[in-house]
Amino acid sequence: MQLTKTDFIHYLNCSKSLWLEKHKPEIYPYGEFSEFMKKLTEEGYEVEQYVRQLIDTFDDFTDYVFQTSFLSSRGLFAQADIIRSNEDGSVNLYEIKSSTSVKSSGKHNQIKDAAFQKIAAQEAGYNVRRVFIIHLNKDYVSDGIIDPEELLVFADVTEDVAEIEAETNYEIEQALELLNSAQIDETSCSCLYLTKGNHCDAFDYFNPNLPSPSIYNLPRISRAKLTNFVLDSRFDLDEIDESEVTEKQALVLKSAHAKTSLIDVAAIAEFYDGLEYPLYFFDYETYSSAIPITSGSKPQHPLPFQYSLHIKKGPDDTNLTHVEYLSEEAKSPFQMIEHMENHFGDRGHLVSWHAAFENTQNRNMAAQFHSKSDFLYGLIERTVDLEDLFKEAYVDIAFQGSTSIKKVLPVVVPELSYDGMKVANGTDAMESWKRLIRMRPSQEKAKLKAAMLDYCKLDTLAMVKIFDAVRKILN
């Protein structure tokens, strides 16, 4: 059975997950990891177009060949983005990435990736002299016309690859052995030792009998602590003592033990007493792309293109004012800021969820548009984070150890839901906007725009409803 570079990265993340995908594809539960790899591939193609433009300007451009495939006798298959033929018969390998630096850890280790490419090329008969990773320049700012020479960085990772080549070769042997196994133990996988955000797509398949909630619902749990619990076969939170976890984890654990919410009325009252009306519940949607799509933006830099605002004039105001903005073309957010200036009053608190995100966008826009910096920094100074209430003042194991609005809303305001929406999350919003700005006026475009507005509107309405529901506790 062949082992591709993508397969190998999959193996490194969870070996059994790879085996299941190859031997039982009809039941494999494709999920976040699969989408992550798909996104990397698509962005890589986008960056490649600019690499081609740059190499076409080189004096030795004829020495570069794009998309060369390697197939070794033991089944390694790889496709180098670029190879360059050297005078002595050797070649240089080039891998194109959409990141703004060379990644050497996490879900996608680019050095390990390059080591696989080198080994596959050498086994296919090539003499590899040097290895490069071409990535994006994080400091590049577009002026509206992309300059490939300024956009791209050619990083020589030859020595880094050499350091892990023997280790990588051993891992390849193990991966091939696994793939050639007709059967494996399907009762668990190595992701048991990883936090929830790092679980493979097939985690539930391999670990179907885990209790819910479990140790994976303890927020920010360290790998060392998680390992100890797994080795003790203690997955149920009823088997964990509060003395074994951090102070914030203990709050979630207490809720699990009590099987009810933990509410600090005094802390909630302090939060509400400190607010000045009118309140502006607001939320941005942003788009990140490998290649900057507007003047003044950077690679992989969030570009705000939409916002929703619900205005609550007083504590008992139920006649909310709603304001929304959605750009239908790829352009700087200057016009959006002017729209905001017309609807955000100069007094009253702004309420956001995970406010660090909104504040970061405001800082970035203030740095880009100096004439608007006073307004944007004024918004930052007035912003409070509704999510903070659910970190210590209102804790419920039903939130699954998360303070995401998508986890809190179904518990606190169960009648309001994102279910069935055509645009139902931030990723959907980004992909939808990418389509929207390329569409000509049509009924289809109008429907897509309406779906995007509905989603962002629900984000801020959800904040209002959660805010009102928690306030009732004080009454």
Nearest CA-CA partner of 204 in 7, 1, 29, 61: 29
Torsion sign, CA atoms 230, 208, 37, 218 = negative
pLDDT attached to residue 145 = 93
Distances in Å between the alpha carbon of 416 and those of 279, 300, 449, 454, 466? 21, 33, 21, 13, 10
- Give the domain 268-474 fold: Nucleotidyltransferase; domain 5 (3.30.420)
pLDDT attached to residue 312 = 98
pTM, whole model, 2 decimals? 0.92
pLDDT attached to residue 31 = 83
Give the C-alpha separation, 161 to 167, whole Å.
10
Torsion sign, CA atoms 85, 91, 95, 101 = negative
pLDDT attached to residue 1 = 85
pLDDT attached to residue 420 = 93
pLDDT attached to residue 40 = 73
Domain boundaries, the chain: 3-179, 209-246, 268-474
Residues 6+ apart with CB under 8 A from 9: 37, 107, 108, 109, 112, 113
- Give the domain 3-179 fold: Lambda Exonuclease; Chain A (3.90.320)
**Regions of the chain where pLDDT drops below 70:** 33-34, 36
Query: In 383-442, where does DSSP find H-type helix?
Result: 405-412, 426-436
Q: Are 287 and 434 in contact (CB under 8 A)?
A: yes
Region of 222 please: left (phi>0), alpha (psi -120 to 50) or beta.
Answer: beta
